[in-house]
Structure 1
Amino acid sequence: MKNIIFTILLALFFSGCAAISGYESDIQSYNQQILQRDCGFDDDKKAIENGNDVLYVALKAGMRARICKEYELSNNFFDIAESRYKNDVDLKSFFASIGDGVSGTFLNSNSLDYDGRFYERIMINVYKALNFMALGKFDYARVELNRALNRQERAKEYYVDEILKAQNLLNDKAKSRNQIGFSDSQISKLSNIYTQNIQAIYPNFINPFATYLSGLFFMLENDKKGYELLKESLEMQPSNLAIKQDIKFAKSGKKEPQIWLIYENGQSAGLKEEVFHIPLFLFSDEVYHAGIALPVLTSPKQSYMNLELNGQKTSQVADMNAIIQTEFAKISPILIRKEILRALFKSALQYSASQISQRRCDSYGRCYDDLNPLAMLFGIYSAITTKADIRYIPTMPSNFQSVRVPNLGNAMIKDDNGAVLLNLQTDKNKNTIIYLKSLTKGFFEFDKIEF
């Protein structure tokens, strides 16, 4: 028991405040940095040099640098993030860290480095490609889009199996540690409560925007692969008018220069913490605290509902919220089982400590059972470390929209109330993509990319 206490105290000491406080304030601070266009990156570089949650820091910095139009710096950060995925995630099972690290089991996932999400892997390559397009380096953009497509294929074929393996592993671990009567039916009941409103929308880990953008790029590069990718994008969304029009244009073989407006609308669903208190009678009267904290999806935030390019309105070509929700639906059984495993461990500590004799006898020979301070200590430890990992990248859009018009040398972009946002001159002899991102009304950045 002394060794367990020492190990827990050591884990708490080395875990840092995030294991107890979580990441809500960090996410709020990051949002403010973005909206205030804070383009200082010294703290990010220092954190990466010191090895502090490198993947999480690099992802956030890469997105912020992109918004600051520091494209090369953005790609440098994305390269760091991508290398972390390759070395720390892709080359081993994504969920191999289930049993890694004492603090990961004793505390919560906040004490571990960020593992990231599958959709982030694909979007890293998409954003690197867009950065290269903004820099006029189309050969490099081609490489990144091919990588995004390859990652997508790998996700479809590989990660579903990994999730099933991880789920079975967690079930086995829970059974081996469940010495206080927490039944499979009770685990399933908790899991159902958590997942009842989460539904997969897209198949597996598909990102229709990666396919659409790749199809558009390859079409503009006169690569027949572009037409096939646009068809594949339409198969994911058979009624999508914008994609149908692009396919029609690609099939026609016409060479008249066009303008595409691609619009990133708002902010995608984020994460917040929800604590599920487990009734103590499921365990024992000697357990002071039993609970699990889980991340739940928040509502997405829209910016302008749509934009208008030379009188034509944008329409949705991909729903980022659906992409995120689909992945969340796939991994939620893993999240619930990981947290139940932690709850079992913490409750077992309390139960074991409560069995240590704490009887006190007075001078008359009368004996009483005192409250066990060690069990109470473990109960407090359980309560303060029951925290959900809500780390995510808040700059992902709610959805992607697109519209195409003939290039007549001018691009006037209006918001959903008819107010002019941009009035740009374009080269009538070139195809042009205007890529505009708006996190909230009044805040937007754009790139004009000419082919």
Structure 2
Amino acid sequence: MLVSLLLLTGCGLSTTSQLGNFSSLYARGLYLEAEKAAMDSKQELSEIEGGDGLLLCLNAASAALAAGEYRRAVDLLDRAEALSGDADLEGALSKTGGAAAEILVNRNVLGYEPRQYDRIFMNSYKALAFLAMGDADNARVELNRAFDRQRRAVEFFEAEIAKARDAGARRQAGSSSNSSLDTQRIAQASRAQAERMADEEHWKPYPDYVNPFATYLNGLFFLLAGQDSGDLDKALNSLRRVRGMVGDNPYLEQDIALAEAWIDGSGNRRTTEPTVWVIFENGLAPDLAQARFNLPLFVVNARMPVKYFAVAFPALQPGRPALSNLGLASGGVPIAETAPLADVGRVVGAEYKVRLPYELTMAALSAASKAMLQYGAQQAGGGKGTAAGQAASAIMALYTAVTTTADTRSWTSLPTDAQLARLSRPADGRLAITTTEGRVLRTLTLPEARFCLIHVRMPTAGAEPACAIIPFQEVLN
């Protein structure tokens, strides 16, 4: 068991180091270097398999997208999506061997399990990459997939809630059948600790667990690249849905008014003034940190000699914005600022809240099982009063200490929030990206297109903003 543990720990440390190197480069705006750090450039994508391969693909794709390597980003996201299918299969199998491994070792020995928001961002980012390459047809496919994933997310969350109830029932059954360890009390103590550490104000989900970023991107695409009245209806429905989640956003109201005018015939693409949309992905997403604490032995059972007893679970940490918002200027004159579009922290936090009861139950079962291993090893060695019994118990206590580790893996290169701006195209075709104080971060030359989307990604205040400039159909004349 200890030899296996050392091998698994070595693999985990290697991935942790790789992701740490990636995060450092990405945060500094060194996007190409970050992509190379996340993935071995000599390795074929088809060779990347389970474990943390999915997580490495996701982070590498974020960096490739920011670096303007759009084809590479699509390939990485395609591979990530294929690996996500494997994760679905693993999830079905985890009721047997996977669950046992999670209890007897920890969740890190299993492959990274993608979140629902991971899947939605996969398709949304592929759509952005295709748009940047001028491939509207494939962008349409990916946006439809993202929309369908959001519809199915509700079913997933209902299943997760049921899963947590089943785990709770299993925990109670274990408590009633085993008088030596009270896993019910262990789980209650864990929950109390989790509530002291967490900020539930950031857990409030959007209605039906919808992601406003993906929904807005869907609406804007069908507005600007739509082919018929049906596409305009899709655009209007998506934009109105975002309004119901976001509330007061003047740019969103202008988009809705534009869609309504085009639908009722009071306006059309040719008569609409040249316009620029800016979507700003700000900062770094909320991530997970380990919350680990020792429980007093009276919570377990004062009569049971245990040398080490602890519980570890993932605790959600707030996202880190790069800027409060983004400024836009022309000829040195400020003309617009971005306004809130989507709080990714709420998207991440809502899913975390749904999963937390299951996480805590599994952490309690794991702690109780390892305590039983310590006691069993001691008894097998001859009992508390023998040197062999004490040595066996000490070895299992060491095993418990090393393996009591929470799963803190997540797609950390997502933003903490997304913001929106909408403005008339500057007459000279040049647009400055600035801070709200007026410091110029980057100056862009816009294409000769009636409509243009600028996707800005800025992970930290010190990073240069990555900008994708995406023209739509109509050419200026």
Q: TM-score under structure 2 normalisation?
A: 0.84
Offset at residue 425 of structure 1 (A): 2.9
Offset at residue 96 of structure 1 (A): 5.0
Contact 2:45 2:76 in 1 (8 A): no
**Secondary structure of residue in 1 paired with 2:459:** strand
Question: CA 1:105 to 1:45, structure 2 compared with 1: closer, same or farther past 3 Å?
Answer: farther
Does residue 261 of the first structure (1) align with residue 265 of the second (2)? no
Match of 2:21 in 1: 29
Distance, in Å, in 1 between the alignment partners of 2:360 and 2:15 is: 19
**Secondary structure of residue in 2 paired with 1:339:** helix
Contact 2:453 2:471 in 1 (8 A): yes
Match of 1:5 in 2: none
Match of 1:191 in 2: 191
Unaligned runs of 5+ in 2: 330-334, 473-477
RMSD after superposition: 2.5
Contact 1:266 1:439 in 2 (8 A): yes
Contact 2:383 2:390 in 1 (8 A): no
Question: Match for 2:372: what amino acid?
Answer: A
* Aligned length in residues: 433
**Secondary structure of residue in 1 paired with 2:157:** helix
Distance, in Å, in 2 between the alignment partners of 1:425 and 1:190 is: 55
Match of 1:170 in 2: 167
Does residue 445 of the first structure (1) align with residue 445 of the second (2)? no
Match of 2:255 in 1: 246
Contact 1:22 1:390 in 2 (8 A): no
**Secondary structure of residue in 2 paired with 1:76:** helix
> Residue 245 of structure 2 is aligned with which of 220, 236, 242?
236
Question: CA 1:184 to 1:105, structure 2 compared with 1: closer, same or farther past 3 Å?
Answer: closer
Offset at residue 188 of structure 1 (A): 2.6
Question: Match for 2:445: what amino acid?
Answer: Q
Match of 2:332 in 1: none
Does residue 122 of the first structure (1) align with residue 140 of the second (2)? no
Structure number with the higher helix fraction is 2
Contact 2:311 2:367 in 1 (8 A): yes
Offset at residue 377 of structure 1 (A): 1.1
Distance, in Å, in 1 between the alignment partners of 2:404 and 2:57 is: 27
**Secondary structure of residue in 2 paired with 1:244:** helix
Indicate the larger mover: 341-350 or 134-143. Answer: 341-350
Distance, in Å, in 2 between the alignment partners of 1:198 and 1:98 is: 30
Residues 104-140 of structure 1 deviation map (CA, whole Å, 9 limit, x = unaligned): 3321111111012111000000000000011000110
Match of 2:356 in 1: 332
Match of 2:136 in 1: 138
Question: CA 1:56 to 1:400, structure 2 compared with 1: closer, same or farther past 3 Å?
Answer: same
Match of 2:80 in 1: 81
Match of 1:279 in 2: 296
**Secondary structure of residue in 2 paired with 1:304:** coil
Q: TM-score under structure 1 normalisation?
A: 0.89
Offset at residue 251 of structure 1 (A): 2.2
Question: Match for 1:273: what amino acid?
Answer: Q
Offset at residue 427 of structure 1 (A): 4.1
Question: Match for 1:426: what amino acid?
Answer: L
> Residue 217 of structure 2 is aligned with which of 213, 216, 223?
213
Question: CA 1:405 to 1:27, structure 2 compared with 1: closer, same or farther past 3 Å?
Answer: same
Aligned-residue identity in percent:
28
Question: Match for 1:163: what amino acid?
Answer: E
**Secondary structure of residue in 1 paired with 2:393:** helix
Offset at residue 350 of structure 1 (A): 1.2
Question: CA 1:373 to 1:177, structure 2 compared with 1: closer, same or farther past 3 Å?
Answer: farther
> Residue 395 of structure 2 is aligned with which of 367, 372, 377?
377
Does residue 392 of the first structure (1) align with residue 410 of the second (2)? yes
Contact 1:227 1:247 in 2 (8 A): yes
Question: Match for 2:366: what amino acid?
Answer: R
Distance, in Å, in 1 between the alignment partners of 2:456 and 2:54 is: 26
Distance, in Å, in 2 between the alignment partners of 1:99 and 1:172 is: 17
Offset at residue 282 of structure 1 (A): 2.4
Offset at residue 14 of structure 1 (A): 4.7
Distance, in Å, in 2 between the alignment partners of 1:125 and 1:230 is: 18
Distance, in Å, in 1 between the alignment partners of 2:386 and 2:433 is: 76
Offset at residue 330 of structure 1 (A): 1.0
Distance, in Å, in 2 between the alignment partners of 1:47 and 1:290 is: 42
Residues 236-274 of structure 1 deviation map (CA, whole Å, 9 limit, x = unaligned): 122233322321232233422210111111112111112
Distance, in Å, in 1 between the alignment partners of 2:249 and 2:383 is: 73
Question: Match for 2:137: what amino acid?
Answer: D
Residues 24-56 of structure 1 deviation map (CA, whole Å, 9 limit, x = unaligned): 544321112323330534358368626352212
Question: CA 1:204 to 1:108, structure 2 compared with 1: closer, same or farther past 3 Å?
Answer: farther
Unaligned runs of 5+ in 1: 1-7, 361-367
**Secondary structure of residue in 2 paired with 1:430:** strand
**Secondary structure of residue in 2 paired with 1:418:** coil
Contact 1:18 1:111 in 2 (8 A): no
Distance, in Å, in 2 between the alignment partners of 1:48 and 1:174 is: 40
> Residue 424 of structure 1 is aligned with which of 408, 427, 444?
444
Question: Match for 2:190: what amino acid?
Answer: L
Distance, in Å, in 1 between the alignment partners of 2:245 and 2:413 is: 24
Distance, in Å, in 2 between the alignment partners of 1:357 and 1:441 is: 58
Distance, in Å, in 1 between the alignment partners of 2:390 and 2:14 is: 29
Match of 2:204 in 1: 201
Does residue 410 of the first structure (1) align with residue 439 of the second (2)? no
Residues 253-307 of structure 1 deviation map (CA, whole Å, 9 limit, x = unaligned): 3422210111111112111112021212223441111111111122321212111
**Secondary structure of residue in 1 paired with 2:182:** coil
Contact 2:287 2:318 in 1 (8 A): yes
